[in-house]
């Protein structure tokens, strides 16, 4: 019987899946669709299974293969919603071992190779988490739009607000508003219809326009990045305040698609604590399941 280990880093915009054999050899790694169980348990499983099958198929392996046992560790967005978490577990199949935690937790495991440390994620959403001698502290991550300040979704929402205020004359014309409105073919009905159905992932798809303009020196876009950075600073300060040890400071890692563009605007205290990630979140998910593996 061969044991295969599956690591899943599931976020609101995409999930990354890796599969290793028992010795740690990487058999495959791929990207699939969204994996936020708060938004859709069904879609999350669809994204995960699709990615796993895409890796296993070229190897001639199927889930029903009796020569293999599948052990999965998953870090998923939306795990803080108990009903979604339970619904997700009820729909699991094929796994001999299944360990599920938040995407922030597995990101922290990966960033610090399972050792003490903190991670701040700014991707579609935003959250901070630290592990200190087994104690877990989480800051933020309560979902969009009620939280997630400093995230891609938040940046997209701010860009939309600026565009709406420009449309009815509350703000003067700006390049940011023009670009966002062009995204909707300069058609107010199209824009309004999008707003009626947009969720965090859709708003986060507007964040690259803000980043692009900030790189070009646009003052309004830079202002939004600075505001987002202040929100990340606040997460970092809250994590620091929760640390038990006062003589040392845990290492911090900054993770997520938006994070690199906010780092230059973070306060000096937080930037001084930043360390490169040792491993990616999908490796952290592998660490999660290997910790709880027994043959």
CB 243 within 8 A of CB 249: yes
Question: Hey, what domains does the chain have and what are their CATH numbers?
Answer: 2-113+278-291 (3.30.420.40), 116-276 (3.30.420.40)
Choice among 58-72, 254-268, 276-290 with the minimum mean pLDDT = 58-72
Mean pLDDT throughout 10-27?
A: 95
* 170/164 Cα distance (integer angstroms): 8
Mean pLDDT throughout 95-118?
A: 96
pLDDT in tens, 33-73: 999 999 899 999 999 999 999 999 999 999 888 899 999 99
Beta strands in 87-203 (DSSP E): 95-102, 117-122, 126-132, 135-140
CB 111 within 8 A of CB 117: yes
pLDDT at 169 over 70: yes
pLDDT in tens, 131-164: 999 999 999 999 899 999 999 999 999 999 999 9
pLDDT at 294 over 70: no
Beta strands in 23-177 (DSSP E): 26-32, 68-76, 95-102, 117-122, 126-132, 135-140
Q: Is 37 helix (H, G, I), strand (E, B) or coil?
A: coil
19 closest CA partner among 79, 94, 90, 88:
94
pLDDT at 111 over 90: yes
* 73/270 Cα distance (integer angstroms): 30
Residue 131: predicted pLDDT: 97
* 128/193 Cα distance (integer angstroms): 33
- According to DSSP, the residues that pair with 31 across neighbouring strands are 16
């Amino acid at each position: 019987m061969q044991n295969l280990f599956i690591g899943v880093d599931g976020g609101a915009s995409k999930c990354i899946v890796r599969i290793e054999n028992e010795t740690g050899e990487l058999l495959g790694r791929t990207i699939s669709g969204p994996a936020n169980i708060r938004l859709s348990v069904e879609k999350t499983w669809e994204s995960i299974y699709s990615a796993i099958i895409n890796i296993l198929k070229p190897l001639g392996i199927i889930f029903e293969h009796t020569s293999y046992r599948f052990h999965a560790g998953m870090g998923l967005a939306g795990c803080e919603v108990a009903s979604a978490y339970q619904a997700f577990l009820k729909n699991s199949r094929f796994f001999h071992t299944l360990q599920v935690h938040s995407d922030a937790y597995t990101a922290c495991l990966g960033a610090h190779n399972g050792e003490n440390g903190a991670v701040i994620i700014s991707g579609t959403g935003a959250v901070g988490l630290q592990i200190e001698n087994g104690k877990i502290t989480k800051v933020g991550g309560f979902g969009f739009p009620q939280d997630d300040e400093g995230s891609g979704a938040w940046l997209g929402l701010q860009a939309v607000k600026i565009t709406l205020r420009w449309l009815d004359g509350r703000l003067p014309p700006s390049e940011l508003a023009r670009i966002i409105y062009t995204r909707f073919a300069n058609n107010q009905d199209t824009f309004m219809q999008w707003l009626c159905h947009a969720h965090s992932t859709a708003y986060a798809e507007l964040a690259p326009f803000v980043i692009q303009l900030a790189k070009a020196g646009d003052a309004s876009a830079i202002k939004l990045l600075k505001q987002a950075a202040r929100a990340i600073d606040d997460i970092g300060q809250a994590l620091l305040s929760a640390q038990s040890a006062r003589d040392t400071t845990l290492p911090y890692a900054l993770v997520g698609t938006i994070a690199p563009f906010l780092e230059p605007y973070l306060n000096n205290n937080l930037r001084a604590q930043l360390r490169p990630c040792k491993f990616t979140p999908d490796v952290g998910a592998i660490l999660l399941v290997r910790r709880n593996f027994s043959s």
